A = this chain, B = another copy of it.
Amino acid sequence: MRRYVLVSYDVSDPKRWRRVYKVMRGYGQHVQYSVFLCQLTDTEEARLRETLYDLIHKETDQVLFARLGSVESDALDRNLTVIGREYDHLDLKKLIF
């Protein structure tokens, strides 16, 4: 099953922040400064975790993974809403390698 996962990161060091950002660009859509919306299988999520775990400082940095539900459902419409600037809800399947 492929899920919507909102990934939000707090990385204080600019170099590390950039490295995390570059990795995230290959996994999903950049919706806020340090937030990406992804569509991930369990395997892809596990691989992303591992990659980010090796990049971040374990005590000071933090990456949150918020699972929002299956991409085959209306989970995104139900569970992710926005006020202010819209995010263009791309069909992310094209981004998945």
What is A's interface to B at a CB cutoff of 8 Å?
6, 8-10, 31-35, 49, 52-53, 56-68, 78-87
Q: Are B61 and A84 in contact (CB under 8 A)?
A: yes
Q: Are A65 and B84 in contact (CB under 8 A)?
A: no
On chain B, the residues within 8 Å of A84 by CB distance are: 53, 56-63
* Chain A contact residues: helix, strand, loop or mixed: strand
Known contacts A10-B32, A10-B33; is A87 also within 8 Å of B66 by CB?
no
Known contacts A10-B32, A85-B61; is A66 also within 8 Å of B53 by CB?
no
Q: Are A66 and B63 in contact (CB under 8 A)?
A: no
- CB closest chain-B residue, reference A76: B66
Q: Are B62 and A83 in contact (CB under 8 A)?
A: yes
